[in-house]
Amino acid sequence: NAGVTQTPKFQVLKTGQSMTLQCAQDMNHEYMSWYRQDPGMGLRLIHYSVGAGITDQGEVPNGYNVSRSTTEDFPLRLLSAAPSQTSVYFCASSYSGVEYNEQFFGPGTRLTVL
């Protein structure tokens, strides 16, 4: 199993550009989510999905879109990048419906918006 994979590892954008961060998991997890981590802070939830076709907003959803067309993939779209979106982005997945729902994290994408 590859676990949770994210691409790219690093990305530099100019203000106003759009891009998609990719996330895939091969563990057949129902639940997937995106977090961002800013310096000196913990992770904050952007969007999450409890299954294909179902998504919902987290704590900091503005400026981001998601969709979940398959169980395996959960891409995060930046519509018009802003310097405030400079951060490290983590994708995570877990089983649903269990008490001990450890979330498995991808390696992260470091995004810089100039």
Partner 1 sequence: AQKITQTQPGMFVQEKEAVTLDCTYDTSDQSYGLFWYKQPSSGEMIFLIYQGSYDEQNATEGRYSLNFQKARKSANLVISASQLGDSAMYFCAMREGPTWMDSSYKLIFGSGTRLLVRP
- How far CA 12 is from CA of 7, 9, 81, 111, 113, in Å, comes to 13, 11, 10, 6, 6
Q: Tell me the one-letter amino acid at 50.
A: V
Q: Of 14 and 100, which has the nearer Cβ to partner 1?
A: 100
Does position 2 interact with partner 1 (CB under 8 A)? The reply is no
How many angstroms separate the CA atoms of 45 and 4, rounded? Answer: 17
Does position 26 interact with partner 1 (CB under 8 A)? The reply is no
How many angstroms separate the CA atoms of 101 and 78, rounded? Answer: 28
Does position 50 interact with partner 1 (CB under 8 A)? The reply is yes
How many angstroms separate the CA atoms of 25 and 3, rounded? Answer: 6
Does position 34 interact with partner 1 (CB under 8 A)? The reply is no
Q: Tell me the one-letter amino acid at 82.
A: A
State which of residues 23, 34, 48, 64 lies at the interface with partner 1 (CB under 8 A): 48
Decide if 74 contacts 27 (C-beta within 8 A): no
State which of residues 85, 108, 111, 113 lies at the interface with partner 1 (CB under 8 A): 108
Q: Of 3 and 16, which has the nearer Cβ to partner 1?
A: 3
Does position 97 interact with partner 1 (CB under 8 A)? The reply is yes
Give contact residues for partner 1 (rule: CB under 8 A).
31, 33, 35, 40-45, 48, 50, 54, 56, 58, 88, 90, 92, 94, 96-105, 107-108
